[in-house]
Amino acid sequence: MEIFLTNLPPKCNEPRLKNVLRAPLKELGIRAFDVHVFRKGGIGTLTVSEEEFGLKILTKYGSSPNFRMRNRVPNNAIRVSGKPIVFSPSRNTPDKHSIKALRESHRKIIQEEARQDTLQDASDERMKKFDVQGVECGLWQMWEDKIPVFNSYYKLEKDGQIVFGRDGVRVMIYETPEPDDLEPQKSYMILIPYFTMEAITVGTYGLPQVTFTLSMAPRFYSIESGGLLGALSLVGGPQLQESRTRKSSIDAYHSVFAAFCFVYRFPLRSAQAMYDLQSLGKHKGVPPIESINTSYSSGFENFLKSFMKLLSEVPSFPFPVAFQLTALFANGTMPPDILYALLPNIKMLMSRDESVEKKNTASILQQFTRELPYQNPVDRQTAFSEKRLQSDLRECENRFKRQEAVRRKDHRLPLRNAREEDGKLAFVHHAVITPAGCYFDGPKPETQNRVLRKYADKQGHFLRVTFAEEDGDTLTYERDVDQKLIYCRFKEYMITTIDGQGGKLLIGGRVFSFLGFSGASLRNHTCWFMAPFEHEGEYIDAPALIAKLGDFSHITTPGKCAARIGQAFSNTYKSVEVPQASEKRIDDVERNARCFSDGCGTISIEMIDRIWQNDRSIARGLAFVFQIRFAGAKGVVSLDTTLQGDVLCLRPSMVKFEGSDSRHIEICSSAQKPLPMFLNRPLIKILEDLGVDDRTFLALQADEVKKLRDASHTPALAANFMERRSIGIKSLKLPWLIKALYNLGLSFQGDAFLGQAFELALLTALRDIKYRARIQIPKGFTVMGIMDEYGVLEEGEVFCHIDDDGKRSILTGEIVITRAPAMHPGDVQVCRAVMVPDGCPLYGLRNCVVFSQKGDRDLPSQLSGGDLDGDLYNLIFDARFRPKRIYTAADYPRVKGKELGRPVNTEDMVDFLIDFMQNDRLGLISTRHLIIADQQKEGTLHPDCIKLAQMHSTAVDFPKTGVKVEMAQLPKCGRTRPDFMAPGPHLLIEKVTEYSEERDPRDDENNDDEYGNAPTRYYESEKILGKLYRTIDERKFKSEIKEESSQKLNLILDVWDYIVGFVRNEENPINLPWQEYAEFAENLKMEYEDDVQAMMRDYSVTPTAEPLKEVEVFIGCIVGKGKQNRREKDNSVQMKEGFDRVVDKVFDCIRGSTDESSIGGPWEALARGTACLWTCVNPRQSVSRIRGEEALQSFGWIAASATLQEVNTIQKRRKQAMPERRGNRNGPASGRRLGALRS
């Protein structure tokens, strides 16, 4: 029921009104309600879930039904700022989904109160709000034997308040207005998420205070509201609205420190507040709050002096070293005075370094930085001291030298960093620019692109720059917040102003300026900067480099020009050179103003053979279809068996610009095997609306969840699961290892590390299903699309020849075809998959879908506006998913890009990048589409969803056209959300993996979010996505798989016992001198762990954030704070590829050469593997060098797998050499075979 509210005061906002109403409504038995204050001052609404509740409110507080008495104020009136609220019945009927959500909230609160009726009421607001007298910002100065000293560099003495909310702390600092001030009242807001808090401490030093030690900068806002101008609303004038502006700091003075001083202290108004805070720290959802003794110092002068000395000294170091020094203080890792005191030691280190540009010193410093603890006043072990830092630096140097010495003696050891051996990688320095600061990281591995390959010896002159939120996520739209100041700050790094300021990033004396970006990096708000250099006697800066990429003078649209230049920055692998005579141009196939061959060309078998010879992995996959970049062309080329000789055929639709001097094919991807087909939420909703039965989705999800649950029951199913998820399937052969352990009578789940890795892999897979509806369709594939070059296929026909790990099949009959992202009901179509005649050239094309060139409209363009330049298409040949209704595909008019009428310059591209970052609303549109589709009976067929699908298409084309979506046309929806969009619990990875505690529903009801907004309400969706979501109980699933394992401390010991038994078998005694490889093994382990720890740091969200856990690297999945964002997904893919490379190198070192040796072949590899295993059984260096982490454990399983694989090879050779002796079936464990899994 809705109730109309009048007589509200001018400054009354929704959080304030809700706080006033909470206690009176609770007395009436009402636990959940919503309020809305209209922009026109003085009126609002109150919504409750039941008519009974509304009548209670009107009976007790309502205005009189008698007209003459209507304005009389009841004696028991509820007042806001002294003004009584007038309650009266509303003529509006509230949204049914809002009522459902309120009923659900009310039910949960009543249920929780019944369960915890003896506990303190979570609605006690006094326990969560604390008055403060200002804010200070600084750093800790800590010694191991003295109390911590808070060095204050910034101080603002203003009254304010700290509020502990659901997900973080909101701090308000108020400017005191003059009595006759007509201007709006100003205040500052600081938002501090809980996950950024290293420690919260209370104590007294002069005044009682609370101090937050953070891992990154908070968010800062200025707020303007009220003032005497607000009084106009009292006499009928417009009410002055509150305005919020995102800032990089509290004020100009604070901006000097905000980037790298992450300790914030707030003096409290009362000593009692300290004790209340400590009690609050024991509440669910709030970090612990501890009382400690600290001292205080105003260290600004010393800070400034050291900082200026550093700025003048650092440029004198070689750039690789200067970059690491810059990162140390810019990231807030080490205070300037401590770093300055360490410079003489670093100079001495350099004097002993003979490498080019002192890169060895840079590597040592990078490792030294990774191992530094974050100073936490609660933990004295994190204290810096000059003696300790010098000792740590020497230890890093000594470790580096020991590894180098062993490497010179043993050629089997890899280079300093195993990933450097792969010529497909570049090592690139990174910068992350956030609203508050600029942080540095790296160098980190990047897949090569054309520019980095061409200037391979100048990679230190290129910088990958990311514009991001403080927590590393993409900076996104905030409702009712002006973000222009932040985007102006971003732009200042890329464009030089009239007075010559800005337009550069100065790092260690090297000046970097904006260069460009690729289409993929644009979506991630990432671009390239470069510093000028000389190459082959020529001065190369950003304009000169771009001029060498090709001729872009004919392109007058900034977005399109940026995209064309960005082709050179696409991640690619260099392949074969194409002579000028081998390049051919062929016509596009066009009809009805449509291009049927948009983005695809052909290639001869002779040239494919050269590609295979150049890359063994492509040759093994027998790929005949390639997504490429070549000179100014991009797209897909496929085998044409009619071509003679060495030929590459390009079409006009592929050639985006001329003038490039690059003659090598650069491969983005190849069709080596089909990708699995996964459902997603938008596609499921469309299929539901097209008539696919709910039971089909529910049955498919049940099968997928059953597979996950069954995987915890038997090693065979566990191995299959690991294989499906591509976890450790290369050199490590984790699925094989699981089976081998079973054959030895060992359960891999009994090992603490392997068990946790497996459990985490299961839980992340389950979360993909529950929160993304990512459900695999067994009868489905995802493949690239190409065109039928020979005119064999008729309109509506496709050809698809699948070769999945040797299992070949040709799809026939009606199949469902679509492409992500599907938003319009016409994005799902049905076509006929056909067999082609014997000898048809199409037959040899595998793992792609061939579209017909006939008909009025090409099929790819009907599938979310697809083309043939590398787009992936989803094929479903499961009859259950065939829609009962098919809708005509959308046909949106082509959006014409914004033309400048002149060549595009750098400033135009920067303006476009900033415009894109500000106006990229793709996520918001997709979310709104999902909500409305759930709430409206017609689903995705509702006119609002059709409108949103068109807006989505415009947003997808924004990077090319520069035409942004008109958000004023965005269809409206209520505040409530379907339950399947509710956030799930976080996964907490420590020694064991656990879910975060469930929220108390009373906290959700009684606490606003960080902005002071009411919590989002969720209703129970009656449609298929809601049914799928509610079917999965994460906690129950976890408890079930937990029962399957009985944790041991370390299964590696059992593997060691088996290896020793095998070597000392009485029947076949072997003199295996593994001790000779002890030093080799120790150093290999150390290098492996250095690489893993580098990835734990490199793939963390920001340079200042906590490193990842080892188990995340091992399974190739970043768990994050909740649902993975785009950057975490991309990082997970790169991290997985990087880990596979590191493991491959370890295996190469263990296996070594198969040439003649003292033992030879698998025996020598067995000796090296055994030595590596010994380092894990009796570790000399078993402590983690990353702050707060325990010893790494994964190397033991790398060594175990390598060693057991060699044992298996030896066993197979023995079996081939002589028949296996019969009768000895119950011998010692060492006689067990490792090959096939026992049934």
Question: Does residue 1094 share a domain with residue 1120?
Answer: yes
Main-chain phi, psi angles of 1160, to 5 degrees: 95, 145
- Band (pLDDT 50/70/90 cuts) for residue 1046 is low
53-88 residue pLDDT tens: 999 998 888 875 554 445 566 678 888 888 888 899
**Domain contains 342:** no
Alpha helices in 920-1071 (DSSP H): 922-935, 943-961, 1001-1006, 1024-1031, 1034-1042, 1052-1063
pLDDT at residue 417, as a whole number? 46
- Band (pLDDT 50/70/90 cuts) for residue 1151 is confident
Question: Does residue 244 share a domain with residue 111?
Answer: no
Q: In which domain, by residue range, is 1064 found?
A: 1051-1182+1191-1213
Question: Does residue 177 share a domain with residue 71?
Answer: no
Domain limit, last residue, from 672, 699, 723: 672
Question: Does residue 1119 share a domain with residue 1092?
Answer: yes
pLDDT at residue 1215, as a whole number? 79
- Band (pLDDT 50/70/90 cuts) for residue 812 is very high
Question: Who has greater pLDDT, 567 or 1124?
Answer: 567
**Length of the chain in residues, anyone?**
1239
Residue 927 pLDDT more than 90? yes
Residue 1228 pLDDT more than 50? no
**Domain contains 8:** yes
C-alpha–C-alpha distance, residues 292 and 209, integer Å: 11
**Domain contains 227:** yes
**Domain contains 151:** yes
**Domain contains 87:** yes
Q: Averaged over 887-916, what is the pLDDT? A: 91
Tokens 């070769």 found at:
803
Q: What is the CATH number of the domain that holds 105?
A: 3.30.70.330
With contact defined as beta carbons under 8 Å apart, do 372 and 1103 qualify? no
Question: Does residue 190 share a domain with residue 220?
Answer: yes
pLDDT at residue 496, as a whole number? 82
Question: Does residue 225 share a domain with residue 183?
Answer: yes
pLDDT at residue 820, as a whole number? 94
Exposure string over 739-764, b if 16+ CB within 10 A, otherwise e = bbbbbbebbbbbbbbbbbbbbbbbbb
740-761 residue pLDDT tens: 999 998 888 888 899 989 999 9
pTM: 0.89
Question: Does residue 1084 share a domain with residue 1167?
Answer: yes
Question: Average pLDDT, whole number, for the chain?
Answer: 86
4-43 residue pLDDT tens: 998 888 778 888 888 889 888 988 889 889 988 887 778 8
pLDDT at residue 380, as a whole number? 80
249-268 residue pLDDT tens: 999 999 999 999 999 999 99
**Domain contains 579:** yes
Name the range with the highest mean pLDDT among 159-173, 823-837, 1113-1127. 823-837
1153-1205 residue pLDDT tens: 544 344 457 788 899 999 999 999 887 654 455 555 678 999 999 999 999 99
- Cβ partners under 8 Å of residue 917, min gap 6: 467, 475, 487, 490, 525
Question: Does residue 139 share a domain with residue 102?
Answer: no
Own/partner pairs for 354-362, CB < 8 Å, 24+ apart? 357/318, 357/319, 357/320, 357/321, 357/460, 358/317, 358/318, 358/320, 358/321, 359/320, 360/400, 360/416, 361/318, 361/320, 361/321, 362/318, 362/320, 362/321, 362/323, 362/324
pLDDT at residue 67, as a whole number? 42
584-607 residue pLDDT tens: 999 999 999 999 999 999 999 999
Question: Does residue 150 share a domain with residue 236?
Answer: yes
The total number of structural domains in the chain stands at 5
Main-chain phi, psi angles of 190, to 5 degrees: -120, 125
Q: Averaged over 963-990, what is the pLDDT? A: 87
397-448 residue pLDDT tens: 998 888 777 777 665 555 444 444 456 788 999 999 999 999 999 898 888 8
Angle, in degrees to the nearest 10, between helices 922-935 and 681-689: 40
pLDDT at residue 245, as a whole number? 95
Share of the chain above pLDDT 70, in %: 88
- Band (pLDDT 50/70/90 cuts) for residue 300 is confident
pLDDT at residue 990, as a whole number? 66
Range scoring the smallest mean pLDDT among 840-844, 1029-1033, 1207-1211: 1207-1211
1092-1102 residue pLDDT tens: 988 998 888 77
Indicate the pairing of strand 594-595 with strand 590-591: antiparallel
Q: Averaged over 441-463, what is the pLDDT? A: 91
Question: Who has greater pLDDT, 323 or 1045?
Answer: 323
With contact defined as beta carbons under 8 Å apart, do 1148 and 1181 qualify? no
**Domain contains 332:** no
Q: Averaged over 97-102, what is the pLDDT? A: 89
Residue 994 pLDDT more than 70? no
| Nearest Cα to Cα of residue 18 among 1009, 901, 823, 811 | 1009
User: What percentage of the chain's residues is helix, strand, coil (to nearest 5)?
Assistant: 40, 20, 40
SS3 string, 395-452, reads: HHHHHHHHHHHHHHHCCCCCCCCHHHHCCCEEEEEEEEECCCCEEEEEEEEEECCHHH
Question: Does residue 1071 share a domain with residue 922?
Answer: no
- Band (pLDDT 50/70/90 cuts) for residue 992 is low
692-729 residue pLDDT tens: 999 999 999 999 999 999 999 889 999 999 988 888 87
**Domain contains 1075:** yes
Question: Does residue 172 share a domain with residue 89?
Answer: no
Exposed/middle/buried for 581, CB within 10 Å: 0-12, 13-18, 19+?
exposed
With contact defined as beta carbons under 8 Å apart, do 888 and 537 qualify? no
pLDDT at residue 82, as a whole number? 81
Range scoring the smallest mean pLDDT among 222-231, 656-665, 681-690: 222-231
pLDDT at residue 239, as a whole number? 47
Give bridge partners of residue 546 from the DSSP assignment.
Answer: none
462-508 residue pLDDT tens: 999 999 999 888 888 888 899 999 999 999 999 987 666 778 899 99
Question: Does residue 135 share a domain with residue 105?
Answer: no
Residue 152 pLDDT more than 70? yes
Tokens of 691: 């008539």
Share of the chain above pLDDT 90, in %: 54
